[in-house]
Structures are given as C-alpha cells and as structure tokens.
Chains A and B, each alone.
Chain A
Amino acid sequence: MGGTTGKNINVTVKVWRQRNKNEKGSFETHDMKGVSTDMSFLEMFDVLNERLITEGKDPVAFDHDCREGICGMCSMYINGRPHGPKNAVTTCQLHMRSFNDGDTIVVEPWRSAAFPVVKDLVVDRAAFDRVIAAGGFVSVNTGNAKDANNILIPKPEADEAFNAAACIGCGACVAACKNGSAMLFVSAKVSQLALLPQGKIEAEKRVLDMVHQMDVEGFGNCTNTGACEAECPKSISLENIARMNREYVFASANEKK
C-alpha cells in the first residue's frame, strides 16, 4: 500500500528548443536516468532543469502553474498527443508511471499560427482571451443582480452548462486538431451561456462576435474529426460544437444589419 510503486526507469527526452518567437528552433535530446515512476511528468522536467542549471546550460522553459490540472497553463505535446498518452488529464497530472523503461519521449509546444512560440515549450494563447473578450460573458454590471433563486434552472440544463464550463482554456483542442481549429474552446463558452437563461438574452450577438473573433485570430476550420473531444483534458463534448453551429446559423439568419 501507500500508492507508491517505487520503480525507477530510464527514458530519453527529445525536446523542442527555441530561444524566442523570431528564431528558428530545433530538437535537443537528454537522457534521464533513474526517474521515479511516482514523479509527475513536470517533476521530471524539474529534475532535467536542475541538471541543466548546474551544468551551466539554459533550462527548458515550459508553462505550468497549479500542477493539479485546473489552471490550464501546462501545455506540452507529448509523443504526438497534447498532454500525453493518457486521456482526460493535463500534462501536470501525467505521471511517469505512464511510460516504460527505455522510452523515447518527444515533447513539442502547441503548434498553431494563433499560438506563437514564446520560448521552448511556452506559447502565447492570448488569442483565447480575445475571443472571450469579444463576447464570452453576460453583460451584467456588478450590483444589478436579482436574488439568485429568482430564476429557476432545470438541473439537467444547469449540469450541461457546467460540463461546458469545465473548459480550462489550455488549448489542447487546437493542438490536437489537424486543422488547428478552436471550435471546441469557443463552443464550450457559447454553449455554457446559451444554455442558461441569464445568457440567452444576448446569445445571438455572442455567437456571431465570438466566431468572428475566432476566425480573425487565424485558427483553422473544423472538419469534425473529433480529435479535440478525444484529447480534451476535461472531456468537453462535441455536442457543444454542434450547438454553436446551430446557434450561429440561426443568429446569422436573424441578424439585423
């Protein structure tokens, strides 16, 4: 018992290095010996960086913060999949027990025109913030709210809205999509607010504005491969994309120029 498997493994890490947005990058290979399988993937990178620093080299830059799978900051494309080989977890929740002794692990940043590389594995995801700023809100100023129980919301709808709202904005959907589309991210917010009575009032304007911003940011087009849903650490459903399509078509038809 104790939840510790106590095993050690050796792995080879092939990691993308790029000094900044403008310079070209390339891969660098590091042998990692005696890695505890209880370590998280990012802790393995901590150990690597500790070594690089003592060797006088530049440590690998990567985004991370909460290390418990909720802030959405960590973003590594590991062995051909965003957040690595396990489903429904973020990179920080991935543990070395998901790898085998002797594995070579290829680690790349999210690749998207809308997410330029800042350094090494760090990318700039401000495009997501701009999409939210375009319409991912309910226009209600502080202090105007009525009693919270004034509007009843059926539990199934509230639950569905919650499931869509579980998105952590990590960008794995964009990274996974062969087209670099951000439809899952955008549709999750559109859905959450369209499902709730509070958000319905401006639902049409919201979907038009958010999709417009998404297109402006340079994300690709959705071809319904479903890769986003499969790789989403929070298992956001494709139903949200369908709902957004529907909302968008109707909103476009109703739009008063």
Chain B
Amino acid sequence: MSNAGFLKSSIGKKVIMGATGLFLITFLMVHCFINMLIFFQDGGETFNKGAEFMGTNWLIRAMEIVLFVGIILHIVQALVLTLENRKARPVPYEKINGAANSSWYSRSMGLLGTLILMFLIIHLKHFWVVSRFTDHIAHNEYEKLPGQETLFKEMMEVFENPMVVLVYVLAMISLTYHLLHGFQSAFQTFGLNHRKYTPIIKKTGIAFSIIICTLFASMPIAMHFGFVK
C-alpha cells in the first residue's frame, strides 16, 4: 500500500497552494515594481514604456498564461480544500473560541481570498481587458490614435471615481491579511520551520505584506488626489 499520488494527498494539495501562492507573490512584486513607475511624475511616460514592454515581450506574455494557470490552480485547490474540510466536520460546534488559538485571518483565508477574487475581476475589467481585447489603449502619447488613451491616462480616469479608490484600498487591506498568513504559511508547508530562521521568515512576511499592499493602495489614492502628474 502506498500513496495514491502526491497531488491527491492532503500534503500534496497544500504544497500546490503554497507553491502557487509563492508564485503569485513573485508576480505581485513584479507588478508592483512596474506600477511604481507612475511615481516618476513624468506624465506616465516611463510607466507607459514599462507597460508596453510588459504587453509586447513574448516571455512576459507567455508568463501571463502561466500566471492565469497559477491563479486558477490556487482558486480551484482552495475550493477543493474548503469543501473537503467542511466534510471533515459535519456537525459544527455550538461555541467556538478561535481567538484563543489562532489569528482570525489565518482562519479566514477563504473569505479574504474571495474578496481578492472579486476585486481581481473588477481590476482585470478596468485594465487588462481594456488593454488586451480593445483598441482603446495606445502604447504612448505619440502613437495614439483618435479615441485611444495611454494606460497611464486610463488609470487616472478610472481612479477619478472615489468608490473605485475605496474598493481598491479595501481590496489591498484584504490582500495584506491574506499575505500575512499566506507568506509564512507557504514556508511551513514546504517544511521550512526552524527555530532560528522561522522568526526571520515571519518578520519578512509581515514586512512584505504591509509594504507591498501599502504601495499598491497608494497608487489609486495618489492618482485620485492628484499627487501623481
């Protein structure tokens, strides 16, 4: 008797969650780095160049497919795990004092993930769909055809709406908490738990989650209030 297959096992599933999670974290870093270009205060010129590179480089385009596969895997696996875990406790407790033994966000990864997914749909509709599937986005100011906008201008327009800014900020708060658990959890899943190094990993995770989400959130805020020109 042996295992029915790594990927079907409880540990295999969790390794997939961790691996896709870490992969998505690297994506966040790249995404954040490129977007930071809006702060050059050059009317979006540098940013638009970055966006053009990202939109035309074949490697990046190929990675885009990998990214979507990663996201879908992460979501599908999460759904599978949630359903299985529900089955593992058919009769719920009357009274639960979860705060006594774990953080609320570690217990709410599904909820936080769902919020992030909802945001992701809005976010993709705002920018990705527009730039990939319409002719609305020009690569830069000089080449734009009538009726076209650069991505930078598109962002400025989208973030004029305060409700959109609010949604983005709330989404980034969700992401912060999702990462607070997810970052260190992925290391635990890969078996990296060490008395000496785990505290460092945990601190790095906290710093990463807060910094990256603050940076992301700062973009719509800055554009909305005109700090970016």
Indicate if A touches B (C-beta under 8 A): yes
**Partner-B contacts on A (CB < 8 A):** 14, 16, 27, 77, 79-81, 85, 106, 108, 111-114, 134, 176, 178-181, 183, 205, 208-209, 211-212, 214-215, 218-227, 230-231, 238-239, 241-249, 252, 255
- Per-residue A-contact encoding for B90-110, CB less than 8 Å = 1, 0 else: 111111111011110011010
User: Which B residues are CB-close (under 8 A) to A209?
Assistant: 1-3
User: Which A residues are CB-close (under 8 A) to B10?
Assistant: 181, 183, 211, 214-215, 219, 221-222
Report how many residues on chain B are interfacial, defined by Cβ distance under 8 Å. Answer: 45
Tell whether, in the assembled complex, residue B2 and residue A212 are in contact, meaning their CB atoms are under 8 Å apart.
Answer: yes
User: Which B residues are CB-close (under 8 A) to A225?
Assistant: 101-103, 106-107, 181
Q: Is B142 an interface residue (CB 8 A)?
A: no
Select from chain A the residue with minimum beta-carbon distance to B109.
A223
Contact A238 to B188, CB < 8 A, known contacts A81-B101, A209-B2, A226-B102: yes
Contact A212 to B14, CB < 8 A, known contacts A80-B95, A221-B84: no
Q: Is B13 an interface residue (CB 8 A)?
A: yes
Tell whether, in the assembled complex, residue A255 and residue B185 are in contact, meaning their CB atoms are under 8 Å apart.
Answer: no
Give Cα A81–Cα B96 distance, bound, in whole angstroms.
7
Tell whether, in the assembled complex, residue B85 and residue A180 are in contact, meaning their CB atoms are under 8 Å apart.
Answer: yes
User: Which B residues are CB-close (under 8 A) to A205?
Assistant: 2
User: Closest approach, in angstroms, between the C-beta of A103 and any C-beta of chain B?
Assistant: 12
Contact A113 to B2, CB < 8 A, known contacts A79-B97, A214-B10: no
Give Cα A75–Cα B187 distance, bound, in whole angstroms.
32
User: Closest approach, in angstroms, between the C-beta of A94 and any C-beta of chain B?
Assistant: 14
Give the number of residue pairs across the A-B interface with Cβ within 8 Å: 154
User: Which B residues are CB-close (under 8 A) to A27?
Assistant: 94
User: Closest approach, in angstroms, between the C-beta of A80 and any C-beta of chain B?
Assistant: 3
Give Cα A181–Cα B192 distance, bound, in whole angstroms.
20
User: Which A residues are CB-close (under 8 A) to B98?
Assistant: 80, 178, 227
User: Which A residues are CB-close (under 8 A) to B3?
Assistant: 208-209, 211-212, 252, 255
User: Which A residues are CB-close (under 8 A) to B15?
Assistant: 245, 249
Select from chain B the residue with minimum beta-carbon distance to A239.
B193
Select from chain B the residue with minimum beta-carbon distance to A174.
B88
Tell whether, in the assembled complex, residue B191 and residue A218 are in contact, meaning their CB atoms are under 8 Å apart.
Answer: no
